[in-house]
Amino acid sequence: MAHLAHYREAHPVPFVITHWINLIAMIFLIITGFYIHFPFVAGFMGMARGAHMFFAFVILLNLLARIILAFILKSSPTGGTRKQVPDYKNFLPQKDNRHQAGAWVKYYLFFKKDHPLGAKFGVLQKISYLAVPVLLIIMGFTGFCLYAPTMDVGPFAAFTNLVGGLMIIRIIHYYLMWVFILFTFIHVYLANVEGFAPTLLMFFHKEHGGLVYDPEVHNIVGEDDLGGEH
Ligand code: HEM
Ligand code: HEM
């Protein structure tokens, strides 16, 4: 199947940067988190805790920046076009793909070979991307319940009491890490299953030619080979 062109306008530079920061911080949080949970070599606990809290602040500030930028910056509502709309709209149901949930589920379950065209993110992609900030906020909240300087602060202490103690909070925080790990595996697989063009664009801002889509008429209107360089 021919693919839509991948243009820079889909992922403006600030989103490339927030995605990089997110990935790097996530790697360090997972490594230091594993170490805190199971110190496989002795002697690095202080360092692991310090690094974990440093990257915790980085990832939470990065999340805040990403959310604010979603309302300030514009991005293309679909592949194959350089037209842009306010970025947050791409995470909500759009005219282009509102009715495609069923078709996407069939595609993911291998009942259908091709997924529907339309909108930058598929229906399930939007849902999982919106779940990332929710999960990160829960990680941050449970993290601050475990963090000595904040554990006695009102809402954190109240939540720890509510669930039955710090051990339960640790368990929640630990198992949610596995949700992130699973998300990342599935995300990396799905992002690359049809070729590396989306990843080259998201990480290195490299464009790739393909079909041109007109979001006004909701259809393919031509093909762009980016001047025939590829
Ligand atoms: C977003 C803000 C986050 C904050 C504020 C935070 C904070 C903390 C704190 C204070 C601890 C306890 C350290 C100790 O026992 O001294 C901890 C443990 C841990 N964190 Fe985080 N964390 C955050 C995000 C994450 C993320 C994103 C992951 C992984 C995806 C993660 C994985 C872990 C793991 C596995 C542990 C060990 C839990 C255990 O004891 O079994 N954390 N975190
Ligand atoms: C090597 C690892 C990764 C690869 C190859 C990758 C690849 C991609 C690609 C290609 C896109 C654009 C999708 C599209 O345009 O259809 C994307 C977007 C996204 N990725 Fe990743 N990703 C990685 C790691 C992560 C991690 C660890 C997270 C979070 C836990 C994450 C969260 C997101 C989110 C929320 C978006 C939405 C776009 C945006 O924020 O502007 N990614 N990723």
207-216 pLDDT, tens digit per residue, is 999 999 888 8
100-136 pLDDT, tens digit per residue, is 777 777 887 887 777 776 677 777 888 899 999 999 9
Q: How far apart are CA 33 and CA 14, in angstroms?
A: 28
Nearest Cα neighbor of 5 from 230, 224, 228, 183 is: 224
8-228 CATH, one of 3.20.20.100, 1.20.950.20, 3.40.50.1000, 1.10.1740.10: 1.20.950.20
The DSSP 8-state label assigned to residue 113 in this structure reads: S
Q: Residue 1 pLDDT > 60, yes or no?
A: no
Q: How confident is the model at residue 218 (pLDDT cuts 50, 70, 90)?
A: confident
Work out the mean pLDDT of the chain and round it to a whole number. 91
Helix (H/G/I), strand (E/B), else coil: 193:
coil
- Residue extents of the structural domains in the chain: 8-228
E runs forming strands in the chain? 74-75, 85-86, 210-214, 219-224
Q: Is 228 left (phi over 0), alpha (psi -120 to 50) or beta?
A: left
Ligand 2: centre distance to CA 149 (Å): 32
Task: Return the pLDDT at 95.
Answer: 72
CB-CB contact of 142 with 176 (8 Å): yes
Helices 166-192 and 197-204: crossing angle in degrees, nearest 10, is 120
Ligand 1: centre distance to CA 173 (Å): 6
Residue whose CA lies nearest to ligand 2 atom number 9: 199
Atom of ligand 1 nearest to the CA of 174: 35
